[in-house]
């Protein structure tokens, strides 16, 4: 599930960071934290490809418990960037167990 998540996210984003041209050491960032998603949120609608620098900036939201975030790095900004919403991501995540 983890690997499929990574592969689907990387493929959709063209194996490039969503915020810069970096193609090295990419991470599939969970836009909404795993603990807050049904079945861990391992769906591409909850993932975005980020380089180490932008991953760190995106994590600020989770690290601060949702208190602060970098500009353009709020989860809603990230969902917007990949053309989805949290509602869609939650709905897709709820389906995960039906196929396992």
Tokens of 17: 């960071």
**16 is a site residue for Zn ion (CB under 5 A):** no
Contacts of 78 (CB under 8 A, 6+ apart): 18, 29, 31, 48, 58
**19 is a site residue for Zn ion (CB under 5 A):** yes
x/- track of binding to Zn ion for residues 48-67 (CB under 5 A) = ---x--x-------------
Name the residue number minimizing CB distance to Zn ion.
17
Closest approach of Zn ion to the CB of residue 19, in Å = 4
**23 is a site residue for Zn ion (CB under 5 A):** no
**15 is a site residue for Zn ion (CB under 5 A):** no
**20 is a site residue for Zn ion (CB under 5 A):** yes
Among 16, 22, 39, 60, binds Zn ion (CB under 5 A): 22
**Residue matched to tokens 């991953």:** 55
Tokens of 41: 């949120």
Q: How many residues does the chain have?
A: 100
What is the separation, in whole angstroms, between the first and last Cα of the chain?
10
Q: How many CA atoms lie within 13 A of 12 on its CB side?
A: 19
Using CB under 5 A, list all residues that contact Zn ion: 17, 19-20, 22, 51, 54
């Amino acid at each position: 599930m983890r690997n499929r998540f990574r592969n689907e996210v990387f493929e959709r984003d063209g194996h490039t960071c969503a915020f810069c041209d970096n193609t090295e050491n990419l991470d599939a960032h969970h836009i909404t934290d795993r603990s807050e998603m049904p079945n861990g949120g391992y769906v591409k609608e909850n993932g975005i490809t980020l380089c180490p620098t932008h991953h760190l900036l995106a994590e600020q939201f989770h690290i601060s418990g949702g208190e602060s975030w970098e500009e353009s790095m709020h989860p809603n900004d990230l969902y917007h960037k990949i053309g989805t919403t949290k509602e869609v991501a939650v709905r897709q995540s709820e389906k995960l167990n039906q196929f396992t």
